[in-house]
């Protein structure tokens, strides 16, 4: 829990920094994301009338499951401009920013995490991780012969299929 002692806030505000266990993110049962270390926070608090303004930066090391190859990889969620206003009317001694810190960090987790930009993913037929190398399966419909043969047949029945791929795209008229 990130609780800040508000009695420390003077005329010039108050700066606080520290680490908080990654458990705060409550990701123990998340299928895609895990906390991988303490959350680092650097926050400043300022009074503004009846409100406390909290600004700052957050960093949380994470393990995310790649949406293509299903392997977990390490990354860091960074929130560069955390900003919240809290009611300050009844001057609570402690301000608990845990829920908002958690929310902002979780918003940094991409919907489709990728372990790397060019992740090859898994073979849909045998399940091999294609980042480790080709598996030898021929993707259905993507072989060198099928469409090329059809194209050849449509263009001129006597001509053999063009080698090396499907050739120029053409609308089928069958």
Q: Do residues 38 and 27 make contact, with C-beta atoms less than 8 angstroms apart? A: no
Q: Does 32 bind Zn ion (CB under 5 A)?
A: no
Question: Sign of dihedral through CA atoms 128, 130, 133, 138?
Answer: positive
Q: Does 125 bind Zn ion (CB under 5 A)?
A: yes
- For residues 70 and 170, give the distance between their C-alpha atoms in angstroms, rounded to a whole number: 36
**Minimum CB–partner distance for residue 62 and Zn ion (Å):** 15
Among 62, 66, 79, 105, binds Zn ion (CB under 5 A): 66
Among 39, 54, 119, 122, binds Zn ion (CB under 5 A): 119
Q: Which helix H or strand E contains 103, and what residues bound it?
A: helix 98-107
Which segment (47-55, 93-101, 111-119, 166-174) binds Zn ion by CB under 5 A?
111-119
Q: Does 68 bind Zn ion (CB under 5 A)?
A: yes
Q: Does 122 bind Zn ion (CB under 5 A)?
A: no
57 φ/ψ angles, rounded to the nearest 5 degrees: -125, 150
Q: Which helix H or strand E contains 151, and what residues bound it?
A: helix 146-155
Among 36, 106, 109, 123, binds Zn ion (CB under 5 A): 123
**Interacting residue ranges for Zn ion, rule: CB under 5 A:** 66, 68-69, 115, 119, 123, 125-126, 135, 137
């Amino acid at each position: 829990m990130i609780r800040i002692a508000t009695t420390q806030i003077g005329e010039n505000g108050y700066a606080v920094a520290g680490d908080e266990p990654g458990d705060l993110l409550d990701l123990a049962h998340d299928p895609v994301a895990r906390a991988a270390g303490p959350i680092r926070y650097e926050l400043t608090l300022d009074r503004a009338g009846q409100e406390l303004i909290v600004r700052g930066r957050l960093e949380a090391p994470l393990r995310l499951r790649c949406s293509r190859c299903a392997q977990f990889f390490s990354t860091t969620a960074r929130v560069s401009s955390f900003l919240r206003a809290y009611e300050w009317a009844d001057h609570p001694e402690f301000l608990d920013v845990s829920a908002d810190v958690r929310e902002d960090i979780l918003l940094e987790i991409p919907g489709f995490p990728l372990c790397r930009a060019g992740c090859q993913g898994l073979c849909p037929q045998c399940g091999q991780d294609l980042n480790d190398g080709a598996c030898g399966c021929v993707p259905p419909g993507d072989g060198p012969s099928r469409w090329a043969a059809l194209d050849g047949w449509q263009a001129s029945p006597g001509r053999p299929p063009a080698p090396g791929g499907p050739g120029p795209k053409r609308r089928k008229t069958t």
